[in-house]
Structure 1
Amino acid sequence: MSTRKAIFITGGGSGIGRAIAEYFGGRGWFVGLGDIDAAGMQETQARIGNGFTFAHRFDVRDRVAWDTALDAFAMASGGRIDVLANNAGIPLGGTLDTNTTEEIERCLDINLKGVLFGAQAALPHLKKTAPGSCLLNTASAAGIYGTGGASVYSATKFGVRAVTEALDAEWAEYGINVRDLMPGFIDTPLIDKTPNQGSNESIRSRVLEGGLEITPPLAVAQAAWDAVHGDKLHTLVGKTAHRAAFASRWMPGRMRKMARASKRPLGN
């Protein structure tokens, strides 16, 4: 088995996934990328530029494709996977009555089923590099308190948080660490998309209109490094996430009023 540590990152073709890839790659790790965007992954590889990268195009909704991707990466990395970053995800905003069946199913399948499938596929690989190997899930500030105007997205991110907590218990006996990141609004291509098919206003516009901050991807990458090497189960990233966590715990009544007043998404 190689001595160079290895991380496989879904959604590695852009945004948070790319930032995590660059951060770990810059610290000597072998970096594997999974995405449906082949061109994006090639750009990420070029930005890392150290020769220790691997890219595999696949859809996280496909359980069999997960096994193929991780087996191929393990072979390329010298037989090891130390971290799986379950990062691939899509936004979905709008009130529930305006979300189409297709939108709801796609968001659930990518954001939640994709994370579960990734965990299943990664387990045998992470057992080999335990103790100290890690499953790192990308949750969201929208997994702290349900967000009006983003009910489906919030449900998926609450689900990711629950998966993290459940697997932290299940996998403790193997010496595998399970962690998640809970970012607020991050400056990635996702934030420039419209929240749903029926909208022509970008998420970024709504965030700025609401007076909320947009956090640079580097902050999430640094948080990912700290999460992998630390002992926090949930890592909050950005002021929005910290405010939501504080208010939901210590001022639930105020949080409820704020949520009713804003109806704006809190997630990354």
Structure 2
Amino acid sequence: MTGAASGIGKATALLLARHGAKVHLVDIAADRLIEVADLVRAEGGEPVTHVVDVSDPAAMAELADAVFAGDAAVDLLHNNAGIGVGGRFIDLTLDDIQRTVGVNLLGTMYGLHYFLPRMRKQGRRGHIVNTASGAGLVPIPLLGTYSAAKHGVVALTEALHAEHADGQVGFSVVCPGVIDTPILRNSPQRGGLVDVDLIDRLAKRFAASPESVAEAVWDAYARRKVVVVVAPLFVTPAWWLRRLSPRAAQFGSRLTAVALEQVLGGAAERAGKKVNA
């Protein structure tokens, strides 16, 4: 379970604990990881913590060695770690781009690279759930790099599902809409367009809970679903429009970009005036 120290990862770890699972908790945030381990233990699970940067392939290789030590088997691998960055692509730094792709897409690829071959040889069926996003189904203006990385996660998962039709290892990709997690509030915002307080208010009003995504992860694992959309209110209509009429979807994306810049930019400007007053 990568990205286990907060949000969707934490909620899923606790759900697995209630099923009596041994849960390998993986995150870069050591302090929060210890707190989640205590909660997992209290829920009846057996936690093992690993402080790992998923964008580091050498660290992911060591993680796989540790998890599979002693002929252990993995029933469920959840590539969940993710970070975000908001703003127009032109305002992002090179480090923003590298970190966003490194964690969201390459981190998932490294997990697959080091775990999948061993899961195929372990002598019992396994399942891999990758966390993408609604932004992996529909391009979201002001989240271009994040959206590109999550589209990659969706495409990769569907390709692996086709490649491994023997069913020895199953594959699912979970695509949440707006979820009330730290990534929503803590993502850097470039270009001065976004008011963080506005994001917080929108999250409290519209966002679904991490627990709803955890339930979807468990359902995907239990029923071997391939693409699972969570909190579909805004995602599903746009996804279907994109599939049925790409030109209409592109026009809608342009309108969305204009609206977002006006709404978020206006809120950010008002927030700046309050600070300067």
| Same-fold call, TM cutoff 0.5 | yes
Output the CA distance in 2 between the equivalents of 1:222 and 1:24.
Answer: 10
Corresponding position: 1:66 with 2:56: no
Q: Which amino acid aligns with 1:24?
A: L
- Higher mean C-alpha deviation, range 152-161 or range 169-178: 169-178
**Quick check: 1:79 aligned with 2:72?**
yes
Relative to structure 1, the CA distance from residue 143 to residue 207 in structure 2 (aligned partners, 3 Å threshold; closer, same or farther) is: farther
For 1:84, what is the secondary structure of its paired residue? strand
Whichever structure has more helix as a proportion of its residues is 2
Partners of 2:25 and 2:217 in 1: CA distance: 15
Hey, what does 1:4 align to over in structure 2? none
Q: Can you list the C-alpha shifts for 1:150-182, whole angstroms capped at 9, x where unaligned?
A: 111111011001110111122233611011000
Distance 1:188 1:207 in 2: 10
**C-alpha displacement at 1:251, in angstroms?**
5.1
Among 32, 35, 51, the alignment partner of 1:40 is: 32
Structure 1 partner of 2:161: 168
Structure 2 counterpart of 1:117, from 110, 126, 130: 110
Equivalent residue for 1:155, pick from 142, 148, 160: 148
How far apart, in 1, do the equivalents of 2:142 and 2:33 lie?
31
Structure 2's unaligned 5+ residue stretches are: 262-277
Evaluate the alpha carbon distance shift between residue 262 and residue 155 of structure 1 in structure 2; reply closer, same or farther with a 3 A threshold. same
The reply to whether residue 243 of structure 1 matches residue 237 of structure 2 is yes
Question: Which stretch has the larger CA shift, 14-23 or 190-199?
Answer: 190-199
* Residue type of the alignment partner of 2:126: S
Question: Separation in 2 of the partners of 1:126 and 1:202?
Answer: 44
Matched-pair contact (CA < 8 Å) for 2:27–2:51: yes
- Structure 1: which amino acid aligns with 2:115? A
Residue in 2 aligned with 1:53? 47
Aligned-residue Cα RMSD (Å) equals 2.5
Please say if residues 84 and 188 of structure 2, whose CA atoms lie closer than 8 Å, have aligned partners that are also in contact: yes
Q: CA deviation at 1:19?
A: 0.7
Distance change (3 Å), C-alpha of 1:13 and 1:194 = closer
- In structure 2, what is the Cα distance between the partners aligned to 1:135 and 1:157? 16
Q: Is structure 2 residue 132 aligned with structure 1 residue 133?
A: no
Q: Distance in 2 between matches of 1:84 and 1:204?
A: 35
> Could you say what secondary structure the match of 1:44 adopts?
helix
TM-score of the aligned structures, taking structure 2 as reference length: 0.84
TM-score of the two chains, using structure 1 as the length reference: 0.86
Aligned to 1:31, the other structure's residue is in SS state: strand
Q: What amino acid is the match of 2:145?
A: V
Letter in 2 for 1:95: R
CA displacement at 1:82 relative to structure 2: 1.1
- Corresponding position of 2:95: 102
Distance 2:221 2:87 in 1: 33
Q: 1:35 to 1:171 in 2, by over 3 A?
A: same
Equivalent pair of 1:186/1:214 in contact (CA under 8 Å):
yes
Matched, 1:29 2:21: yes
Question: For the residues of structure 1 that align with 2:84 and 2:58, how far apart are their CA atoms?
Answer: 25
Which shows bigger deviation, 13-22 or 45-54? 45-54
Q: Which residue of structure 2 lines up, in the alignment, with residue 260 of structure 1?
A: 254
| CA distance in structure 1 between the partners assigned to 2:23 and 2:228 by the alignment | 22
After TM superposition, the structure 1 stretch with the greater mean CA deviation from structure 2, 125-134 or 41-50, is: 125-134
Q: Any conservation in 1 of the 2:16–2:23 contact (CA below 8 Å)?
A: yes
Q: CA deviation at 1:137?
A: 0.5
For the residues of structure 2 that align with 1:138 and 1:204, how far apart are their CA atoms?
Answer: 26
Partners of 1:248 and 1:120 lie apart in 2 by 31
State whether residues 178 and 203 of structure 2, in contact with CA within 8 Å, keep that contact through their aligned partners in structure 1.
Answer: no
User: What's the offset of the Cα at 1:51?
Assistant: 5.3
What does 1:5-16 align with in structure 2 at a 5 Å threshold? 9-16=1-8
- Tell me the CA shift for residue 213 of structure 1: 2.2
Identity of aligned residues (%): 32
| Shift in Å, 1:126 | 1.4
